[in-house]
Amino acid sequence: MMLLFVLGYGQDYICSRATYFGSPNCQGNPTGACGYGEYGRTANDGYVAGVHRPYKNGTGCGACYQVRCKTGECTEDGVVVVATDFGVGDWTDFLFPAKAYAKMARPGLEAELLSYGVVNIEYRRVPCTFGGLNLIINIHEGTRYPHYLAIIITYNPSLYDVVGVQVWQEETKEWRPMRKPFGAVWDMENPPRVEGGAYKTRYFLVASNTNHATWVESPTLIPANWGKGANFELAIELLFANVAYLLLYVDDIVLITSSEKLKCDIIALLKSKFMISMSDLGKFELIFGNFFGACGYGPYGKTANGGYVAAVSKLFRNGTGCGACYQVKCKAPECNEEGVKVVATDHAFTYDADFILSAKVYAKMAKPGKEMDLLDCEYVNIEYERVPCKYPGKNVMVKVHEHSFFPHYLALVLLNQGGMYDITAVEIYEEATQEWKSCRRAYGGVWDMHSPPKGELTMRFYACGSGTTEGKWIVASNVVPAYWKAAGACGYGEYGRTVNDGDAAAVPRRLFRNGVGCGACYKIKCKEAECNDDGVEVVVTDHGESHESDFILSGQAFAKMAESGMEAKLKAYGHVNIEYQRVPCQYPGNNLMLKVHEHAHYPNYLAMIFYYQAGIYDITAVEIFEEANLQWRACRRAYGAVWDMENPPKGGLTVRFFASASVAAEAKWVVVANVIPLAWQAGVVYDTSIQLS
């Protein structure tokens, strides 16, 4: 049995409204948006609800809330409900079946409460109680053995949300991510084949009240011959422990403090409805945007347009509005004439606002010296207009999304989308059938396709002028390489695509060496008549196996091995004989950089990765100095080049790594003092001020 403790739920109630719907048995909806089926009607003895803001794109499915109404007919305790559906009424956050709605009333006053139709309420997240039942995996009715596996998780008694699910693939020794198609359903095309064995699964859990996050592997295995309707208890017990913390919520960001002065400061800032994060007691970092935004942009959603981004409400248009630019001007005495230009990178449910801005962006609308006065406004009226997006010196980029899984599932996102066009369709050309195959808009700005064509991919997208029905198809030839990958097995993300001017390679297991080979440089020369004498230098950024090859090169790196004018002929071979040797990496003008990985979560989980690793060294160990105990604590190689640590030391962090020369016996510990600041942030790159030679 695995135990996880969740810190206390002593949070303030949130004010909202609730209503109810009629049904023949006064119970919930068995076809709700969470995908629960009959469980969505009968869970918690039928005390269920459709929710609006707490739905959170399905993450809120299965969460329990204590809801109490605020009229004379209402009890003090209200009702505890499970979120099993999405629903919105007249400015409501909770849509109850009549049975649950009436439970909020004092005995004998149910009819009077029902007569209101809509009531003011207050609610808070609470642990669920299911009579001793634990987390259960159900094989969804839509499953098709053995080609398509879909699961749904029920009976979550804790304050943890399940935000990621992965299945272990023994053949490649890696965890494969499942996709969340809707609600609480997780699915996978072509799941691993397990002859006579069982599936290992793990779950990424985030505590809703503290944002503590962790991967948990279930001791329970899913049998290889799974079938629809089967269910399995996960044997993960999520316990609850009470702690005296004040918790305040802004969307999904949690602020924790026990300081009364700080409480007042936070509440003053919360009044303006801005996204705020607290990096340390008494110190705030105003964030630029949401890394996990509804457009699916990832880090780009925080940094596009210099960080001047916005979440939009009705302008989201089911994802069509992702990437659109707007000039926004406020209309208060503190406002300047120019306003601010923002890019839509996220969606937010709001009752009375079209734009949700970070404090940095909001303050940009103020006159000089009036920023704090504007921030004090509870609301501000605005005017806005759609304007062309401009990205000087940047072309439209196609990103292979992190949820892609080669070669079975491809998801794409378009970045740096200039002008005033909306992307309303994306297609990929299939050479074998000589026809275009349509992608699906998975969500936001993400387009996907199961079983995409093989080889280099030519795609086209339909760009429709804003406010018109006129548009045009734009074709990008061979834009996605034959051996496309998502973030890559090294964990480098976008760096893995652009490092060394894009001359990168995936290598097989013997050169990958379980991640030790990440960042190594090789000189490669091919041996055909079309090949030049210089070859190409590449950096290892991924793992890949193909045709007994030692290197799978990017298209441009492969072409650089050819004599001038012979590139197409060399590519026509598909694979060629080569000779290679390990060489020192060189990054003139760049120090060794240490990036806090996007999956890190301050202050409970730190993941790091090194960029611009020069020389011919391998990094085989990483440690962090803990000042309190005056000792070094070892990091774990999570995967590839990513090193991580649960509950890292507090304060500015000193890191050391063991650099071992690959061609000599030389090895040494290299210490970098205070390289990671006190309030480190996921996605930020820090300069070590040193370089390996």
651: left (phi over 0), alpha (psi -120 to 50) or beta: left
Mean pLDDT across the stretch 585-600?
Answer: 89
Domain count, the chain: 5
Residue 243 has pLDDT above 50, yes or no: no
- Using CA atoms, how far residue 493 sits from 461, 474, 513, in Å, is 24, 27, 19
Does the residue 693 lie in any domain?
Answer: no
CATH number (domain holding residue 104): 2.40.40.10
> Which residues form the domain of 179?
1-243
pLDDT score at 259: 32
Same domain as 102, residue 6: yes
Residue 671 has pLDDT above 60, yes or no: yes
For the chain, percent of residues with pLDDT exceeding 70? 81
| Lowest mean pLDDT across 169-178, 324-333, 564-573, 680-689 | 169-178
Q: Are 405 and 177 in contact (CB under 8 A)?
A: yes
Confidence of residue 485 (pLDDT cuts 50, 70, 90): low
Among 531, 550, 583, the domain boundary falls at 583
| pTM greater than the 0.95 cutoff | no
Residue 47 has pLDDT above 90, yes or no: yes
Which residue would you say has higher pLDDT here, 25 or 173? Answer: 173
Same domain as 249, residue 237: no
Same domain as 443, residue 514: no
Q: Which residues contact 561 (CB under 8 A, 6 or more apart)?
A: 524, 525, 526, 531, 532, 535, 536, 570, 576, 578
- Using CA atoms, how far residue 298 sits from 288, 290, 302, 401, 402, in Å, is 13, 8, 7, 9, 9
CATH number (domain holding residue 447): 2.60.40.760
Q: Are 123 and 11 in contact (CB under 8 A)?
A: no
Confidence of residue 469 (pLDDT cuts 50, 70, 90): low
Q: Which residues contact 269 (CB under 8 A, 6 or more apart)?
A: 276, 284, 359, 375
Q: Are 254 and 274 in contact (CB under 8 A)?
A: no
Q: Any alpha helices (H) in 474-599, and if so which ranges?
A: 495-498, 509-512, 555-559, 567-573
SS (H, E, C) 241-301: CCCCCEEEEECCEEEEECCHHHHHHHHHHHCCCCECEEEECCEEECCCCCCCCCCCCCCHH
Strand partners, 57: none
Mean pLDDT across the stretch 426-449?
Answer: 90
Does the residue 464 lie in any domain?
Answer: yes
Confidence of residue 213 (pLDDT cuts 50, 70, 90): low
Confidence of residue 396 (pLDDT cuts 50, 70, 90): confident
Residue 212 has pLDDT above 80, yes or no: no
Same domain as 618, residue 536: no
Q: Are 624 and 674 in contact (CB under 8 A)?
A: no
- Using CA atoms, how far residue 363 sits from 328, 384, 529, in Å, is 12, 16, 62
Mean pLDDT across the stretch 104-120?
Answer: 93
pLDDT score at 547: 64
pLDDT score at 668: 87
Strand partners, 657: 622, 670
Does the residue 521 lie in any domain?
Answer: yes
Confidence of residue 379 (pLDDT cuts 50, 70, 90): low
Which residue would you say has higher pLDDT here, 520 or 292? Answer: 520
Q: Are strands 79-86 and 64-69 parallel, antiparallel or unpaired?
A: antiparallel
Among 184, 216, 243, the domain boundary falls at 243
Which pair of structure tokens corresponds to residue 473?
């198809």
Does the residue 485 lie in any domain?
Answer: no
For the chain, percent of residues with pLDDT exceeding 90? 32
Same domain as 302, residue 345: yes
pLDDT score at 468: 58
Q: Is 114 helix (H, G, I), strand (E, B) or coil?
A: helix
What is the rounded distance in angstroms from the CA atom of residue 315 to the CA atom of residue 55? 20
Mean pLDDT across the stretch 32-40?
Answer: 84
Does the residue 488 lie in any domain?
Answer: no
Residue 625 has pLDDT above 80, yes or no: yes
Does residue 146 have a cis bond before it (omega within 30 degrees)? yes
Same domain as 234, residue 110: yes
Q: Which of 156, 187, 150 is nearest to 44 (CA)?
A: 156
**558 secondary structure, DSSP code:** H
Model confidence over 508-551: pLDDT tens digits? 888 988 889 999 999 999 999 999 999 999 999 988 776 678 89
| Lowest mean pLDDT across 67-81, 459-473, 594-608 | 459-473
Among 561, 583, 605, the domain boundary falls at 583
Same domain as 640, residue 524: no
What is the rounded distance in angstroms from the CA atom of residue 526 to the CA atom of residue 544? 19
Q: Are 11 and 250 in contact (CB under 8 A)?
A: no
Same domain as 412, residue 320: no
Q: Any alpha helices (H) in 105-196, and if so which ranges?
A: 110-116
pLDDT score at 624: 95
pLDDT score at 205: 74
pLDDT score at 584: 94
Which pair of structure tokens corresponds to residue 54?
């707490």
The strands making up 667-676's β-sheet, listed across from edge to edge, are 631-634, 617-626, 653-661, 667-676
Same domain as 342, residue 285: yes
Strand partners, 63: none
Which residue would you say has higher pLDDT here, 324 or 382? Answer: 324
Same domain as 15, residue 3: yes
Same domain as 579, residue 430: no
Does the residue 451 lie in any domain?
Answer: yes
Does the residue 296 lie in any domain?
Answer: yes
What are the CB-based long-range contacts (under 8 Å, 24+) for 192-197? 192/167, 192/168, 193/146, 193/224, 194/170, 194/224, 195/224, 196/224, 197/170, 197/221, 197/224
Same domain as 650, residue 616: yes
Residue 207 has pLDDT above 70, yes or no: no
Q: Are 394 and 416 in contact (CB under 8 A)?
A: yes
Place of tokens 């079938």: 227
Instruction: Give whichever of 188-192, 197-201, 295-299, 519-523 has the largest mean pLDDT.
Output: 519-523
Does the residue 179 lie in any domain?
Answer: yes
Which residue would you say has higher pLDDT here, 5 or 332? Answer: 332
